Amino acid sequence: MKLKLKAVNHGKDKNRYCGPSVISAVTDLTTGEAARLIRMKTGRRMVTGTHTGEVESVLNDCGIQMTTLPPPEGFKFGRSKGITLAHWLRLTHGQRKDRIFLVVAGWHWQLISGNRYVCGRIFSEGIVSIKHPKVKRRARIAEVFELTSDNVKMPDTDVSKPKDPNAAIRAKAHRISKKIGADIEVYRSMSYTDMTVYPPSSISDDDDPFTGDHACFGWEEVVEMLETYQEMVA
């Protein structure tokens, strides 16, 4: 596939941060898939801010090269005293046609090709003009890269969203609880998930076979408890 600038693709698997957004806009990955590949490479639990090396590694997996560009003569890049995006755009006018630039300005990844602009901050509007009011042209540029590719491809690693192994049994539990008037309370922590099942109001504490022990540590236990209640209210 030819390298071209596209709108950010969140799909059904969304990551709202700017690193995955710019990756999505030059590949066939959704933002969620881009973030998943970064997590697989780095071991991170979440992808919010992204480092240059992380973005470059994912783009390389997609057949895209990042070439570091120097600042215009007489200027410098830097987060506090670097050239502004507006000034860089003026100085590079006429040099950006049919080229794609990945720019870090204001702690934010953004893509520029000619007078077209894409970033995760204004993804809902697709590809916009560099004069769009939401483009922060006064932000100072830290880095600029040119993106090139002979063939943009999907990474060799499977980045599709893994199927939830508990989806079917969890759905069964919710169907039964709704039918008999029971409640399921779910508690999620960083390392585990447990559930508490509350019986239908028609079952008293004296009749409840699980009185004092409504905690479950798997959806199979939840279904087993609910099926017991279902038999009792039938």
User: Is 1's pLDDT higher than 90?
Assistant: no
> Do 173 and 131 fall into the same domain?
no
> Do 202 and 141 fall into the same domain?
no
User: Is 191's pLDDT higher than 80?
Assistant: no
| CA neighbor of 111 nearest in space, from 31, 7, 10, 29 | 7
Mean pLDDT of the residues in the chain: 94
Kindly report the number of other CB atoms within 10 A of residue 46's CB atom.
Answer: 9
Separation of alpha carbons 126 and 109, rounded Å = 15
- 37 falls within a domain: yes
> Do 47 and 89 fall into the same domain?
yes
Separation of alpha carbons 55 and 161, rounded Å = 20
Kindly report the number of other CB atoms within 10 A of residue 121's CB atom.
Answer: 19
> Do 123 and 183 fall into the same domain?
no
The single-letter code of the amino acid at 77 is F
Three-state SS at 48: coil
- 100 falls within a domain: yes
Q: What range defines the domain where residue 58 resides? A: 18-148
At residue 168, the pLDDT reads: 92
Distance of CA 69 to the CA centre of its chain: 28
pTM for this entry: 0.74
> Do 34 and 115 fall into the same domain?
yes
Q: How large is the average pLDDT for residues 191-200?
A: 90
Separation of alpha carbons 33 and 29, rounded Å = 6
Separation of alpha carbons 179 and 232, rounded Å = 13
User: Is 190's pLDDT higher than 80?
Assistant: no
Separation of alpha carbons 171 and 88, rounded Å = 54
Contact (Cβ atoms closer than 8 angstroms) between residue 193 and residue 177: no
Contact (Cβ atoms closer than 8 angstroms) between residue 186 and residue 215: no
Q: How large is the average pLDDT for residues 169-179?
A: 96
The single-letter code of the amino acid at 233 is V
Assign residue 34 the CATH number of its domain: 3.90.70
At residue 204, the pLDDT reads: 93
pLDDT 10s digits, 31-80: 999 999 999 999 998 999 999 999 999 999 999 999 999 999 999 999 99
- 53 falls within a domain: yes
User: Is 26's pLDDT higher than 80?
Assistant: yes
> Do 181 and 144 fall into the same domain?
no
Percentage above 70 pLDDT, the chain: 100
- β-sheet with 215-216: strand ranges across: 183-188, 193-198, 215-216
> Do 45 and 138 fall into the same domain?
yes
- 2 falls within a domain: no
- 10 falls within a domain: no
At residue 71, the pLDDT reads: 97
> Do 126 and 209 fall into the same domain?
no
